[in-house]
Structure 1
Amino acid sequence: MNKKIIALAVAAAAFGTQASAVELYNNDGTTFAVGGHVTAAIQGSEENDPTVEAVSPRINFNATQDLGHGFTADAKGEWAMNMLEGGDNTFTTRLGYIGVSHDTFGRAVAGTQWSPYYDVAGVADMPIAFANDFLYDNHGKLGTGRADKMVSYRNGVDLGSVGLNFGLGWQGDNSESFNALDPNADAGNYGDRIQVAVSADVAGFSAGYVYNTGDVDFSPLTGVTGGTKDANSHAFSAKYGSYGNGLYIAGVYAMNEYMNIAGGEALAETSAYEFLAAYALSNSLNLSVNYEGVENDADNLTVRSEMAIQAEYNFTNSFVGFAGYQIDLGDDYSDDDNKYSVGVRYYL
């Protein structure tokens, strides 16, 4: 297996993907760490007054265990925090999985996890304030972001200066709510879903492709006739560099059927794309511009079209300030409304 992949996978399990974490225990091949971040921002738009909002705060617990013979087990639990209001839903699950990794045999994971689809399509989902929103249209059930109830397998191989990687993902049958306008409605039956991802890395460049498919019964959803449909996606991506370290450029293009939502409808055919260009200066100031668009190809309508200019600054490794302004370039489903966000993130 590509040892870079296994090292990143185990490191992510032990310390999370954030800039820092607190390792509470490390002895005799066993580790336990706590991580996450607390993020708050003043957000508003031309149509709405500014308010204080939480920006995806979370807390996670991570453990690893050396099993011997080159195998490492890891487990992760991560919960979103309701940090601005009281109530019953103080914590909600973001991630929860157990994995086993080996340098040669690869990595297998079971539970709610970042999917192989996201490995490829999430390369532009980097800035704090405004990023790749189309990936999150019902992502848990469709497996485009954090995939619910997934079993995945990843492996890779080094061929000199080229690294080849592949991933497989499977989600079983389940009946869950789907309706974007009423998430509590009994609105969808999801059949088995499968995704296959491949990518290649060479000299700082990476390119990938992923296919995601599975039947969904959309019959309770308006605008969809015929009941069960194959909700599928072909996604392509390319990137150069490492986000937050000098120049970083990334792009994603997806050809989708019944994967994106607009006006409470699952759209029959869409094209979705995201482009990100960022440059991190030596003083830790990271400047970026990104563009996102989704087109309803069946009806020749624009679902979203927006561009954001953003800045992030690391005061320390654990304390980051950010600001972004998103320009609404117009669509056929909502009124134009430019947005802004200014806030801070503290990594645990």
Structure 2
Amino acid sequence: MNKKLLALAVIAASSNAVAVELYNEDGTTFDIGGHVSVALEGSDEGDTGLTAVSPRLNFNATHDLGNGFVADAKGEWALNYLDGGENAFTTRLGYIGVTHNDFGRMVAGTQWAPYYSVAGVADMPIAFANDFIYEDHGNLGTGRAEEMLSYGKMFEFGDAGKLGVAAGWQGNKTDSESQAKYGDRAQIALNYSVAGFSANYAYNTGDVTYGSVGTKSETSESHVISGTYGSYGSGLYVAGVYAMNENMNSDVNGNLIEDGSAYEALFAYALDNSLNLSVNYESVVDNDASKTVYSTSAIQAEYNFTKKFVGFTGYQFDLGNDYNNKEDNKWMLGARYYL
């Protein structure tokens, strides 16, 4: 791959599908992207109101370092524009990366973790998607991992497919709000794809001391496997996720689940007229207590009026739990405008 194609590949990996390029000269590019997303939402047990749906603003830059190396940087902030709060911007992503076609890619900062490339394959619909991976995801490194150093490389085998190998590391830290203390955390991820199918595995581990000083340290550990077929938003897309978690999730009372399982499935089909229909399912189970913490299923639709403007709607069925919490079905109707 030549330098120009490599730079384009870095941009595709680190920016929105829709972005405005502001600069491209002498091996350096700079673009701004993001989206503003609002929706009406309501539920059986709650009032109807207006909500923001993960709005964000980001910038992406690349620079050709020579000898096949390309550096890139990304900053992304969540937008708070509905309630007039003091924190108009909060950090979602912020990192520097270096990529080489032969040597792979190194990234330092707050980034999508290698674990997410496996666990997040069903986290696609706008209205209702994955929840279990976002519980303390910044510290545990299951979603947007904070203070992470990662490395990844893709091996291509022609018609036999391609294999992605990645690893991530987070150092010691203390959460400023919960005061939980996190030891060194490490993870690996394997992604193999061929003929439209993918098979994926990730392992995530590290010790955490929850609560006050002197509380017993626990190993928070996850094995997750997933599989996909197709590409979301283009014809048929099917994804399934199964995670075996130890001290990674909490029950409805906030108690840590020592031995838990999480399940996620997504079936989506995008028509030629840009209408994308989907059905998903998610549940978390406390295996020791033999209790379902929550289980939900949603039917959803997304329609691209233009490349930049998307309408979406969804209805999520609460399939119940084993904690006597009342079922609460939810709905959402909104629009997303890509900057």
Deviation at 1:199, TM superposition (A): 1.4
CA distance in structure 1 between the aligned counterparts of 2:85 and 2:130, rounded to whole angstroms: 29
Q: What CA deviation, in whole Å up to 9, does each residue of 1:60-91 have, x standing for no partner?
A: 01100011111000000000000102132100
Map 1:70-89 onto structure 2 (within 5 A). 70-89=68-87
Counterpart residue type for residue 331 of structure 2: Y
Residues 270-298 of structure 1: per-residue CA shift (max 9 Å, x gap): 10010000000000000000000110001
CA contact (8 A) 1:308 1:324 kept: yes
- Structure 2 CA distance, aligned partners of 1:229 and 1:251? 28
Paired position in structure 2 for 1:144 = 142
SS at match of 2:120: helix
Question: What is the aligned counterpart of 1:90 among 88, 91, 107?
Answer: 88
Deviation, structure 1 residue 347 = 0.4
Range with bigger deviation, 139-148 or 265-274? 265-274
Contact 2:178 2:211 in 1 (8 A): no
Alpha-carbon distance between aligned partners in 2 of 1:108 and 1:10, rounded to the nearest angstrom: 15
Structure 1 residues 106 and 246: alpha-carbon distance in aligned structure 2, compared to 1, 3 A threshold:
same
Cα deviation, residue 185, structure 1: 3.7
Q: CA deviation at 1:133?
A: 0.6
Q: Which residue of 2 aligns with 1:192?
A: 184
Summarize the Cα distance change of 1:327–1:52 in structure 2 as closer, same or farther, 3 Å threshold.
Answer: same
Q: Does residue 245 in structure 1 map to residue 245 in structure 2?
A: no
Structure 2 gaps of 5+ residues are none
1:337 to 317, 328, 331: 328
2:315 pairs with one of 298, 310, 325: 325
Q: State the identity %.
A: 61
Q: Distance in 2 between matches of 1:213 and 1:219?
A: 19
Q: Distance in 1 between matches of 2:110 and 2:215?
A: 30
Q: Quick one: structure 1 residues 259 and 240, their matched pair in 2 at CA, closer, same or farther if it must change by over 3 Å?
A: same
Give the match for residue 181 of structure 1.
none
Q: What residue number does 2:338 align with?
A: 347
Residues 157 and 275 of structure 1, relative CA distance in 2, 3 Å threshold: same
**Contact 1:193–1:212 (CA under 8 A) maintained in structure 2:** yes
- Does residue 122 of structure 1 match 2:120? yes
Gaps of 5+ in 1: 178-183
Gap change, CA 1:293 and 1:9, over 3 Å in 2: farther
With normalisation by structure 1, the TM-score equals 0.93
Q: Deviation per CA, 1:200-239, whole angstroms, max 9, x where unpaired?
A: 1100001110000000002449xxx961011000000000
Q: Which residue of 1 aligns with 2:218?
A: 229
Aligned to 1:209: 201
Of 79-88 and 271-280, deviating more is: 79-88
Are residues 1:171 and 2:154 paired?
Answer: no
Question: What code does the residue aligned with 2:326 have?
Answer: D
**Pairwise CA distance, 1:332:** 2.4
Partner of 1:112: 110
C-alpha contact 2:10 2:62 (8 A) present in aligned 1: no
Q: Normalising to structure 2: TM-score of the pair?
A: 0.95
| Structure-1 separation of matches of 2:257 and 2:276 | 36
Q: Distance in 2 between matches of 1:345 and 1:261?
A: 31
Q: Deviation string for 1:113-135 (max 9, x for gaps)?
A: 00000011110000000001111
Change beyond 3 A, Cα 1:5–1:248:
farther
Inter-partner Cα distance in structure 1 for 2:317 and 2:309: 27
Q: 1:71 to 1:116 in 2, by over 3 A?
A: same
- Contact 1:234–1:254 (Cα < 8 Å) also in 2: yes
Cα shift readout 1:11-57 (whole Å, capped 9, x = no counterpart): 233xx13x311101000110010000000000010111210000010
Q: Contact between 1:6 and 1:102, CA under 8 Å: does it hold in 2?
A: no
CA offset digits 1:148-198 (Å, max 9, x no partner): 000000001111221011100000000115xxxxxx343x10000000111
Work out the CA distance in 2 between the residues paired with 1:122 and 1:129: 15
Supply the AA of the counterpart residue of 1:150. M
Specify the alignment match of 2:210 in structure 1. Answer: 218
- RMSD over aligned Cα atoms: 1.8
What is the rounded CA distance, in whole Å, between the counterparts of 1:299 and 1:6 in structure 2?
A: 51
Instruction: Return the alpha-carbon distance in structure 2 between the equivalents of residues 209 and 87 of structure 1.
Output: 40
